[in-house]
Amino acid sequence: MSAQPNVDTEAWPESYGDEARPRMGFFTDTSVCIGCKACEVACKEWNQVPEDGLLFTGDSYDNTGGLGANTWRHVAFIEQDRPLRVGDGEDGDAFRWLMSSDVCKHCTHSACLDVCPTGAIIRTELGTVVVQEDVCNGCGYCVPACPFGVLDKREIEDDGRVWKCTLCYDRTREGMTPACAQACPTESIQYGPLDELRERAGARLDKVVADGFAGARLYGEDPTDGVGGFGAFFLLLDEPEVYGLPPNPVDTTHDLPEMWRSAAVAAGALAVGVAACLLGGRR
Amino acid sequence: MPSLGTSFGRGGATTFQQDLQNSDCIVIMGSNMAECHPVGYQWVMEARERGARVIHVDPRFTRTSATATDYVRIRAGSDIAFLGGVINYILENGREFREYVVNYTNAPVIVDEGFQDTEELDGFFSGWQDGKGTYDNSTWQYAGMSVHGSAGQREMGANQGEASGHGGHGGSLKHGEPPEEDPTLEHPRCVFQLLRRHYARYTPEFVEQVCGVPREQFRMVAKALCDNSGRERTSAFCYAVGWTQHTVGVQYIRAAAIIQLLLGNIGRPGGGIMALRGHASIQGSTDIPTLYNILPGYIPMPHAHAHEDLQEFIDLNSAPTGFWGNMGAYTVSLLKSWWGAHATAENDFCFDYLPRITGDHSIYQTVLAMLDGTVKGFIVVGENPAVGSANSGLHRKAMAKLDWLVVRDLVEIETAAFWYDSPEVRRGELRTQDIGTEVFFLPASAHTEKDGSFTNTQRLLQWHHKAVEPEGDCRSELWFYYHLGRIIRQKLQDSEEERDRAVLDLQWHYPTSGQHEEPSADAVLREINGTGPDGSALSAYLELKDDGSTACGCWIYCGCFADETNQPARRKPASEQTWVAPEWGWAWPANRRIIYNRASADPDGKPWSERKRYVWWDEEEGKWTGEDVPDFQSDKRPDYVPPEGAKAQDAIKGNHPFIMQADGRGWLFVPAGLVDGPLPTHYEPHESPFSNRLYDQRGNPARQIFERPGNHTQPTDGQPGSDRFPFVMTTYRLTEHHTAGGMSRFVPYLSELQPEMFCEVSPELAAERSLVNGGWATVATERAAIEARVLVTDRMRPLRVNGRVVHQVGLPYHWGSRGLTRGDSANDLFPIVLDPNVHIQEAKAATCDIRAGRSPRGAVS
Amino acid sequence: MTERPTDGYYGRPIVKPPVWKDEIAWYLFAGGLAGGSSSLGLAARVTGNRALARSATFTAAAALTASPLLLIKDLGRPERFVNMLRVVKPSSPMNVGTWILTVAGTAAGATAACEATDVLPRVRALAQGVAGVLGPALATYTAVLISDTAVPVWHEARTELPLVFASGAAASAGAAAVILTPADSAGPARRMMLAGAVGELAATSVMERRLGELGEPYHTGKAGAFARAAKTATAAGAALGAFAGRRPAMGRLAAGLVFGGAVAERFAVFRAGSQSAEDPRYVVMSQRDRS
């Protein structure tokens, strides 16, 4: 707890040398989210993201659905017959409405970055993960590789490329705050150096638990998890699955050496097999 | 607005949103603050983080309820029963802040012996004039003295055609006190005892029956307020149109004012009443008014039969005591700013140029007059009545009767397009080729395309600077009105008619710039601020004179251009000043952020407690000081007693904080200014499934009903046919959309967030009416039937009221026939029935039926 | 709606299903066919079976032409296909695969050109050697490609999928060769086809069993239909090929069935991926097991 949290990734800060800047990220504290969706709108306005479909879902106040090529901040709404605070509503009238602004996690071990065949997806000098829109050829490999379902191909107007949250690279490069964090009225979305955010989040969790919020937990702050800790992590009030988040996400690249080994075995078997078939004559 | 005005002296929020962080308990009622004021709501969240109770009382569990510490479900339209219950709880349990109540409110004042309460007259106060449908308030006066209200119908007698003019010549304060009062609060006719008798039946059991709130839950709220009031702790109320849009709306707010005065929360940090006004500049639109019955700074509009000359006008409308005693200075300065050198003492400063009202010219009256053919033209600027007004269908039909219509807006809203795109045209009820209205649509500039100011809900003026040129034909409001006036004056310049002098003598020269000759907004602001005899900008309204040497476009804004500086444009960051942030923007009056803040100190001028210090008397310096601009004469000692015959503010004692009021006190009981009673009384909404548990008189007797074709009232409890519309319906806003949709339904980023009109129903109601989540429903009243998608949710639940189960149907009101997201308008369902003080529609409680399935779209016979 | 969702967040997918269209399923198949054929071609050349080498060479070249074209067609920005070769990136099986395709494709094309025009035998030999050696890699990298995602039915089968693909490659390459080669030279191809078919049936069976509930997509919906068709066709083709395969007509019929079965199996795997990602249950299941 006392040591500075380790926020290093493979490409950052090492490959940047002197140009490396502190690794920046998001801490999204859903205990103070009021579901206003200012983050969704600010993101779209700043990044000129296209409208994502006028579709009434009937899923509480969430008509956005989820993250994708044309939605980089998504506010989830979950109505539950459970109390907000431990001990509330013992008369059976317990009810709470969870709200949470989801975003790309800018993973420390980033599967999308690893599998991208063109090298379009890079780690920036701020430690964030960004798709270079002038390189991406829309092969779509990153789409099923992301354990959170963040990326998607933009199918409109012959665009064809994959898009996701840039952590407002054009703003943060100039020392500005990302649009969503700037717009959030309750500071549910906090932007800052990732190591500072992790420390702050620990203290915040203690307070939220002490204030009696049921189910409070941090999600993605642990550098030992399957993606090495998230660059954008959360304080949730229930299990991740309730929010549509994977309980135990892993960067698939973690298993890649094992996969190449299995492939080598199979390849070897094929080679041997083909050779064997050539024995025994032509008929 | 008149509720706060008559209770405290000014019609505006008593505090500012940032102050909510200091509250120990915040009650949000008649408001969905998180959804409708999300940026201001961060201060409620801050209070919550500091351990405050946040109690949300609402018919629906909303995004505000989701982050509150307590949610209380209430039947829409029963708030006075609830608030009256809190008053009863305070008085019966002796929880009032005694020292504050005795010294700062009119609790000790003894009322005229002719006064009779609704408890004695089965739902009426004394003075009801049956034929006229109004009250004569002479029996409501203080014993031995008549007082003027600081707001509302200050010349109530005059408005009803009587020229008798109360009060100006009646008895007056003696050394700052009314003639008869009892500081022990025991006298049977003192206000305190009148309160007790009036609310005696508002017990927790009564609240449970009428509101559907379990008595223990109600007691929890009342206790929380009481426990968090007093010297060491303060509580705040936040309300919005969930309170104002009722036939007793003004009385709802009065009830909160009574609670806050009894608990001693007004004028104190973390206390007060935060009136949450919705539009970015709605406060501004009543300060520099767009209302027919007031002039800038809440000076009343003169009445044709009552105010023969300027002096009579001033006499009838000002109190001899309190800051309204300076009304002559405010009025003359206003006239000087409009007519300049033409306005002289000889011609009453052009007082005769002012138009006169002859009755009720409010918007709903006007629209009904359009239907009747007596109003021929209509200019609609930044409003969308075809969607946003009660009985919106009737509005669309009314516009079809006009000769001409001008609409200025950012996009071609429903009001501008009604003649070819509306439900009536779709149904064949109106045919485009038969509509004779000539429609002019003038595109408007957005706020980024023009200089100007907003005056927001906390009386804060904030300047905005033009960032880009408007495109095409888009022009600002300032450009439109200035050039309209210029062209009219040009056309009239050779006129010999007397009536045209009013227009021709106007001061109408402003510097302009750019290729479109845009008038300087700064120049207009400076004119509003006012100038002295030497033409330099004034600094304070105390400098205004009634001799024509000063000019001022709005006395409450005097000071906004002090030191020739655009004060509303100040933007000192929060990190560089105190939490009150007085150097960000400029608030009226005089940049005070919490008004009536003298009340944050005790009668001796010391803070009630260290924890709640805000403004106090500095004996050494001989002046008031503290965190904010004192809302008091800076050098008036706490122990000041006015001499005999003292006038205006000098007649107010040193321990009376409500300096606008005639007696310097907060009014628990309002003897003058409100047309429907000195005390709030529970009445049922105009349309309700229930009769009034208290009285035979169901609804507010003074409410304005307009029974006519297209605006029929539905049968209510007990009447034949009342079971046709058994459910309570209420309307509200969503964060994602803006009022009548002109600024959101045409924007893709907002439209996609809430892409369809929908209704919210409980699972129980859904089961009863076979409604399916995501499916369609038709909601119907006498006036109209609309369709909506269905959202079935546990956030809506049935209530138990008067021994039976009642369901509520929730309807957002943003939709109309145009834009990226289109749908039926909820306001089509509501009748026009109005609060009699402010002519605001009852859009928050009515009755309806709901059925599964879409509504028929074809022509109806 | 208001109860605690048992289906996650309104039943929405957690991992996004692949955006790939059927072109990619064919691309996965073509890789196997190309890999098996180029290895077969090299082996046939080395053992002097000219007719077999010839047909395998042309098959490999055709498959290696189709493969990149299919990949390019599925790109959102086809004109940027060259960006695949901007980097050499071992962490991206698609990048590795593109390099293998490029080298092997060039080699197979050169081999086929030389074969067709009967010129430059040494060039042909070298090219055939390169393509043939890369054959097994071609046949199996596609399995790594799809395993290296977050799709449960793929990622959790990462040990078995290369075997499924390799045996499928053998089956399809062998079958193609049986169809295209005169029966008196097609013996090794027939044996390869049968071994591949049996291997495919065994490998898919082991994979589905090891997946457990995560393997449900192979029994439901479109993926299930393809999987069933694959098993039926492959088994029938193997049986027919085993007992009547030496006869030219029967042999070709059997090869057709095995070939079709291999195509179906590739489509079954491809479709299973979408089905696996669509239902959030599988993602949660696979991760709760892990923790």
SS3 string, B808-853, reads EEEEECCCCCCCCCCCCCHHHHCCCEECCCCCCECCCCEEEEEEEC
The complex's ipTM works out to 0.95
B-C Cβ pairs (cutoff 8 Å, strict)? 8
- Residue B385: asked if its preceding bond is cis (omega within 30°), the reply is no
Q: Is the pLDDT of residue B216 over 90?
A: yes
Question: Is the separation of the CB atoms in C196 and C174 below 8 Å?
Answer: yes
Helix-then-strand count for chain C, H and E: 10, 0
Residue B82: pLDDT above 90? yes
Q: Which residues contact C281 (CB under 8 A, 6 or more apart)?
A: C7, C8
Query: Of B284, B313, B360, B322, whose CA–CA distance to B150 is shortest?
Result: B322
DSSP conformational letter for B321? B
Q: What is the CATH number of the domain that holds A107?
A: 3.30.70.20
pLDDT for res B153: 62
Residue identified by tokens 């009225």 is A185
Nearest C-alpha in B relative to A204: B49
Residue C44 DSSP code: H
Please spell the DSSP secondary structure of C140-198, one letter per residue.
HHHHHHHHSSS-HHHHTTTTTHHHHHHHHHHHHHHHHHHHHS-GGG-HHHHHHHHHHHH
Q: How confident is the model over B440-493, as pLDDT tens digits? A: 999 999 999 999 999 999 999 999 999 999 999 999 999 999 999 999 999 999
The second-level CATH assignment, the architecture, of C22-290 is Up-down Bundle (1.20)
Q: Which residues of C touch A64 (CB under 8 A)?
A: none
pLDDT-derived band at A92, boundaries 50, 70, 90: low
Does the pLDDT of residue C66 top 50, yes or no? yes
Nearest CA in chain C to B774: C1
**Which residue of C2, C3, C10 is the best one to mutate when testing the B interface, meaning the one whose CB has the most B CBs within 10 A?**
C2
Best CA proximity match to A60, nearest among B61, C33, B186: B61
Tell whether C1 lies on the interface with B, counting CB pairs under 8 A: yes
Distance CA A271, CA B338 (A): 99
Nearest to C259 by CA among C239, C242, C228, C238: C238
Distance CA B154, CA B132 (A): 18
Helix (H) or strand (E) holding C71: helix C50-74
Best of C75, C98, C99, C142 to disrupt the A interface (most A CBs within 10 Å) is C75
Cβ atoms of residues A78 and A243 within 8 Å:
yes
All residues of chain C having their beta carbon less than 8 Å from the beta carbon of residue B795 are 2
User: Would you say residue A36 lies in a domain?
Assistant: yes
Tokens of B365: 């009256």
User: Helix or strand or coil: residue A260?
Assistant: helix
Number of H helices, E strands in chain A: 7, 10
B792–chain C Cβ distance below 8 A for any pair = yes
Query: What tokens appear for B96 in the block?
Result: 């009032």
Nearest-Cα distance to chain A for B813, in Å, is 16
Q: What residues does each domain of chain C span?
A: 22-290
In a domain, A167, yes or no: yes
> What pLDDT score was predicted for residue B166?
26
Report strand pairing: B808-812 vs A96-103: unpaired
Confidence band of B687 (pLDDT split at 50, 70, 90): very high
A266 within a domain of the structure (yes/no): no
pLDDT exceeds cutoff 60 at B167: no
Structure tokens at C145: 């490609």
Chain A positions in Cβ-Cβ contact with residue C94 (cut-off 8 Å): 115, 117, 139, 141
Average confidence score pLDDT of chain C: 93
* Chain C, nearest residue to A117 by Cα: C95
- Looking at residue A69, its pLDDT comes to 97
- Cβ separation of B753 and A37 shorter than 8 Å? yes
At A90 the pLDDT is: 59
Ramachandran angles phi, psi of B442, nearest 5°: -115, 120
**Segments forming the whole domain that contains residue A195:** 14-250
Strands B25-29 and B235-239: parallel
Contacts of B736 in chain A (CB under 8 A): 37
CB atoms A40 and B61 under 8 Å:
no
pLDDT at B861: 46
Q: Among B509, B489, B384, which residue's Cα sits nearest to residue B441?
A: B384
Q: What pLDDT does residue C4 have?
A: 38
**Residue B154 φ then ψ, to 5°:** -75, -20
Which amino acid appears at position A130 of this protein?
V
Task: Tell me the residue type at B762.
Answer: S
If you search the block for the tokens 């074709």, which residue do you land on? B709
End-to-end CA distance of chain A: 72
CA-based nearest residue to B115, from B196, B7, B197, B194: B194
Give the whole-angstrom CA distance, residue B161 versus residue B306. 7
pLDDT band at C160 (very low <50, low <70, confident <90, very high): very high
Distance from the B797 Cα atom to the nearest Cα atom in chain A, whole angstroms: 10
> What proportion of chain B, given as a percentage, has pLDDT over 90?
87
Is C151's Cβ below 8 Å from some Cβ in A? yes
Query: By mean pLDDT, which of A9-13, A229-233, B23-27, C191-195 is the weakest?
Result: A9-13
Q: Which of A146-150, B3-7, B172-176, B842-846 has the lowest mean pLDDT?
A: B172-176
Instruction: State the Cα–Cα distance between residues A235 and A27, nearest whole angstrom.
Output: 8
**pLDDT tens profile A50-64:** 999 999 999 999 999
> By percentage, how much of chain B surpasses pLDDT 70?
97
Q: What is the identity of the amino acid at B49?
A: E
| C3 band by pLDDT with thresholds 50, 70 and 90 | very low
Cβ atoms within 10 Å of B573's Cβ, excluding its own: 9
Compute the nearest-CA separation of B60 from chain C (Å).
15
Q: Residues with Cβ < 8 Å from C70, sequence gap 6 or more?
A: C23, C24, C26, C27, C30
**Residue B161: per-residue pLDDT:** 27
Residues in chain A within 8 Å Cβ distance of B820: 54
| Amino acid occupying residue C282 | Y
Per-residue HEC secondary structure of B86-98 comes to HHHHHHHCCCCCH
Query: Using a CB-CB distance cutoff of 8 angstroms, which residues of chain A are in contact with residue C76?
Result: 136-140, 153-155, 159-162
Residues of A in contact with B212 (CB under 8 A): none
Residue A175 CB-density burial (10 A; 0-12 exposed, 13-18 middle, 19+ buried)? exposed
Cα(A94)–Cα(A81) distance, integer angstroms: 6
CA distance A27 to A204: 11
Residue A242 domain-assigned? yes
Rounded Cα–Cα distance for residues B23 and B50 (Å):
9
- Identify the pLDDT of residue A282: 76
- The H or E element that residue B704 is part of is strand B704-705
Q: Are strands B70-73 and B53-58 parallel, antiparallel or unpaired?
A: parallel
B737 CA: distance to closest CA in chain A (Å): 11
Q: If you measure CA to CA, which chain B residue comes closest to C4?
A: B794
The residue ranking higher by pLDDT, B650 or B212, is: B212
**B145-163 per-position pLDDT tens digit:** 877 777 766 544 333 322 2
Please report the pLDDT score of residue B318 as a whole number: 79
**Average pLDDT value for residue range B651-680:** 93
pLDDT (tens digit, 9 = 90+) per residue, B498-536? Answer: 999 999 999 999 999 999 999 999 999 999 999 999 999
What is the number of domains present in chain A? 1
- Report whether pLDDT(B235) > 80: yes
A79, part of any domain: yes
Backbone φ, ψ for residue B668 (5° rounding): -70, -40
Say which residue, B495 or B720, is predicted with more confidence. Answer: B495
Residues 6+ apart with CB under 8 A from B18: B43, B579, B580, B581, B593
Average pLDDT over residues A134-157: 96
pLDDT at B562 over 70: yes
In the predicted structure, residue A66 carries a pLDDT above the cut 80? yes
Please tell me the predicted confidence (pLDDT) of residue B604: 96
Question: Are C276 and C220 in contact, with CB atoms under 8 Å apart?
Answer: no
Pairing state between β B846-852 and B727-732? antiparallel
A282 within some domain: no
Q: How is residue B276 written in tokens? A: 């949450």
Give the pLDDT confidence score for residue C44 in this predicted structure. Answer: 93
Q: How far apart are CA B167 and CA B154, in angstroms?
A: 10
The pTM of this model reads: 0.94
Cα separation of B427 and B828, whole Å? 14
B17 closest CA partner among B273, B287, B240, B282: B273
For A208-222, letters b (16+ CB in 10 Å) and e give beeeebbbbebbbbe
**Confidence at residue B693, expressed as pLDDT on a 0 to 100 scale:** 96
Q: Pick left, alpha or beta for residue B105 (phi over 0 → left; psi -120 to 50 → alpha; otherwise beta).
A: beta
Q: Identify which of B394, B368, B395 has the alpha carbon closest to the alpha carbon of residue B384.
A: B395
Residues B370, B374, B377, B381, CA torsion sign: negative
Partnered with residue B795 across adjacent β-strands are none
C-alpha separations of C255 from A27, C49, C52, C230 in Å: 59, 19, 15, 13
Q: Contact, B262 vs B101, CB < 8 A?
A: yes
C-alpha span between C61 and B562 (Å, rounded): 86
A92 lies in a domain? Answer: yes
